[in-house]
Structure 1
């Protein structure tokens, strides 16, 4: 059984876990707020530039080129923003997983200690129950590792999809630019 010292240590560990995760969440929320503020600032600057450029257009043929330029810039900024948000969320997930893994390992050691104590003090004939408890703990650890692996795979798949989408957008822009240049003439 757990001693009072072990119970107190467990409570301290949960408190550390809570504050570690809270600090990480607040830190990344601050980064997200800064990223959003920068995005708003850039949008305002781009809108101002576009308004000034539109006032200086003298020929109707110049509109498509200006619109293409604005759309291209907006697409680039959105891709960059989405990539940065994804990186921030991924970093947060990795940090939470690290904290969770450390906590899970601590919990596993404590459970192993409890099982060993129970095994020493268990009455004869309880081996099957203790074996089942040991199997349940092993299954829980395997499940956690599987979920963590699946989470990493999902992150990598999403990152890969963002890179493919970014490359496709750049290729499409390269294909459209010559056509717009021809239309402009």
Structure 2
């Protein structure tokens, strides 16, 4: 039977803590998303009920078309708002998960570097090239990780700015089309 050393026990505990920390952050994000979805469903059902009540009171087709045109603008705005909120939840969850992963990676990297340094102290003569290669590989891995992290952050920022641009454009389009549809429906009602 093999017993674990105190360092191995501490490392295993750190791994378990990291796993549960990561799982907790992911579940928090899922919980936020579920709450948002529940809120959207409740609001949508209330709106549908209200709109059906309004629609049942219309007798002329132009009135009905004007009413339908009036529903399009708020629906598009709410859809864009929902998309923004989902993106915010996803990006904040991703940021928290990334931070936890970074913390765990830094701890692991520190342990590996300490192992390399300890090995270098006790290495036989002539193994300097192997130790240097090992250190170089660790440095390259660290650089790769940092580059991937920066690229991921840039991608999230780019997606967020694109979402803002699309939302602004769509809002302007909906407002413009809503006004045109209402004017067209009003003109049809006068005929």
Q: Same fold (TM over 0.5)?
A: yes
Q: Which residue of 2 aligns with 1:13?
A: 14
Cα distance in 2 between the residues matched to 1:178 and 1:92: 38
Distance, in Å, in 1 between the alignment partners of 2:47 and 2:110 is 56
Q: What is the CA distance between 1:105 and its match in structure 2?
A: 0.8
In structure 2, C-alpha distance between the alignment counterparts of 1:111 and 1:34, rounded to whole Å: 42
Tell me the equivalent position of 1:131. Answer: 132
Q: Deviations over 1:47-71 (max 9, x none)?
A: 1111111101122112222112212
> In 2, distance between residues paired with 1:181 and 1:91?
39
Relative to the length of structure 2, the TM-score reads 0.91
Unaligned runs of 5+ in 2: none
Match of 2:167 in 1: 166
Equivalent position of 2:59 in the other structure: 58
Cα deviation, residue 140, structure 1? 0.8
Q: Distance in 1 between matches of 2:174 and 2:72?
A: 10
Separation in 2 of the partners of 1:109 and 1:39? 46
User: Counterpart in 1 of 2:68?
Assistant: 67
Unaligned 5+ runs, structure 1: none
**Segments ≥4 residues shifted beyond 3 Å:** none
Q: Is the 8 A contact 2:33 2:86 kept in 1?
A: yes
Instruction: Tell me how far apart the structure 2 counterparts of residues 113 and 55 of structure 1 sit (CA, whole Å).
Output: 75
Deviates more, 1:95-104 or 1:4-13: 4-13
Distance 2:18 2:179 in 1: 56
Shift of 1:84: 0.7
Q: Which residue of the partner structure matches residue 27 of structure 1? A: 28
Q: How many angstroms does 1:26 deviate by?
A: 1.6
Paired residue total: 183
Q: 1:174 & 1:78 partners in 2: Cα distance?
A: 14
